[in-house]
Amino acid sequence: VSPVTPAGEGGVAVLRLSGALAKALLVKNFRSSAKTAEFESHRLYHGQLVDARGTQVDEVMAVFMRAPRTYTREDVVEISCHGGSLMVRKIVDLFVEGGARIAKPGEFTLRAFLNGRIDLSQAEAVVDLISARSEAAGKVALRQLGGALSKKIFLYRDNLSDLLALVEASIDFPEEELDLPVLDGFRGSVRGVVARIDSLLEGFDSGRALREGLSVLILGRPNAGKSSLLNALLGESRAIVTPIAGTTRDTIEESLVLGGFPIRLIDTAGIRETNDIIEAEGVRRAQDKISEADLVLLVVDGSRPLDGDDYLALKLCRDHRVLLVINKNDLLPTPLEREFFSLPQVRVSAHSGQGLEALRAAVVKLFLSASSDAEVGESTLLSDRRHREALWRCREALVRGEEGLGPGCALEVFALELREGLEALGGITGETTPDEILGKIFSRFCVGK
Closest approach, Cβ 367 to ligand GDP, in A, equals 23
Q: Which one of residues 122, 327, 345, 380 is an interface residue with ligand GDP (CB under 6 A)?
A: 327
Strand locations in 174-246 (E):
214-219
By CB under 6 A, the residues from 171 to 200 that bind ligand GDP are none
Query: Which of the residues 248 through 277 are near ligand GDP (CB under 6 A)?
Result: 270
- Residue numbers 225-244 binding ligand GDP by CB under 6 A: 225-228
**Which of 87, 136, 224, 326 is in the footprint of ligand GDP by CB under 6 A?**
224
349 binds ligand GDP (CB under 6 A): yes
Q: Three-state DSSP class for 305?
A: coil
Nearer to ligand GDP, 90 or 285 (CB): 285
**Main-chain dihedrals φ then ψ at residue 220, nearest 5 degrees:** 160, 170
CB of 218 to ligand GDP, least distance (A): 8
Member of 83, 220, 355, 426 binding ligand GDP (CB under 6 A): 220
CA distance 350 to 345: 15
Angle, nearest 10°, between helix axes 411-429 and 148-172?
A: 160
Stretch that binds ligand GDP, among 143-151, 155-163, 219-227, 357-365 (CB under 6 A): 219-227
| Alpha carbons 369 and 357: distance in angstroms, whole number | 18
Minimum distance from residue 304 beta carbon to ligand GDP (Å)? 11
Q: Which helix (H) or strand (E) holds 209?
A: helix 204-212
The answer to whether the CB of 112 falls within 8 A of the CB of 72 is yes
113: number of Cβ within 10 Å: 25
CA distance 89 to 13: 11
Stretch that binds ligand GDP, among 9-17, 205-213, 327-335, 439-447 (CB under 6 A): 327-335
Buried/exposed 364-396: b ≥16 CB within 10 Å, e otherwise: bebbeeebeebebeebbbbbbebbbebbebbbe
Q: Is 330 in the site for ligand GDP (CB under 6 A)?
A: yes
Select the residue interacting with ligand GDP from 133, 328, 388, 395 (CB under 6 A). 328
Residue 96 near ligand GDP by CB under 6 A:
no
Can you give the binding site for ligand GDP, defined by CB under 6 A? 220, 222-228, 270, 327-328, 330-331, 349-351
